[in-house]
Amino acid sequence: MALLWHLARPRALIPGFLRPGLVSPSHRAYSHAAVGPLVYDLHEPSKPRTDKQTEPILFLHGLFGSKKNNRGISKALARDLGRFVYALDLRNHGESPHDKRHDYEAMADDVANFIHEHGLKESSIIGHSMGAKTAMTLALRSPELVANIVSVDNAPADKVLGRGFAEYVRGMKRIQDANVTRQAEADKILEEYEEVSLPIRQFLLGNLYRPKGEQTQKFRVPLDILARSLDNLGDFPYKNPKEVRFEKPALFVRGTKSTYVPDELLPLIGEFFPRFRLVDVDAGHWLISEQPEVFRQAVVEFLQPAE
């Protein structure tokens, strides 16, 4: 049973469910599914506490997102923690390479390769939604690469994605087929698939760009690949916490208005991540943009070095 404190300040960090120590393997072979180098933005602190190879933070976005979504919070964490923050474009997103395979093991391979290529050590991995499951997968399969994780509104469990994601893809395909030249045209089409939330439409349309020499706008994300991958993105590759655990610190931040991390999943989180803490935020699934200051405080408290 989880004990939650409902406070006006960022809700109290809650110790995880401790289990007898079952140590995660120190190394797991990769499936060699990684794509080429991931594109990233590096946010440098004005007063670095360490060099950028040691104790960096890697920020992983969610489905249809990119490195630019986390620009503000990345700069704030670099400032507050004195650490270098790498905001990544995951495969098939932003400016990173495209590949027909899109699942959590492949994305974890990409991030592991990024860590090796840049010589990073003791990395903190922050991930939202799809990025959260990628962070969890990497932590469970290769704990030697990860110092700790922050999972934002997702859990290590299979969950069918809401119908809305498939509708978003349908709307985005219609936009692409319509050869739009202005974002207002694209928004009018997308409104048929997401009429309630303008912020969600703006988020999705952030993937539009105008290829050099062309008049019409296209989506950077490969819509056919992502459409075929929606079932994969609902799954989680590890099913049995008796076989693998991440014994280092983990912070799970969930939106109280979201359904992604219900109370009944907390024991499972504790089995996979026995040193986990929980923070509840009065927000929905997009809690970083809804409550950026509450999120910042929770992450800084978790990652702040012990005095």
Catalytically active residues are 129, 285
* 191 φ/ψ angles, rounded to the nearest 5 degrees: -60, -25
Question: What is d(CA 260, CA 221) in angstroms, rounded to the nearest whole number?
Answer: 24
DSSP letter string, 68-106:
GGGHHHHHHHHHHH---EEEE--TTSTTSPP-S--SHHH
Contacts with 283 (C-beta within 8 Å, 6 or more apart), sequence order = 255, 256, 257, 258, 290, 291, 294
Query: What DSSP string describes 183-235?
Result: HHHHHHHHTTT--S-HHHHHHHHTTEE--TT-SS-EESS-HHHHHHTHHHHH-
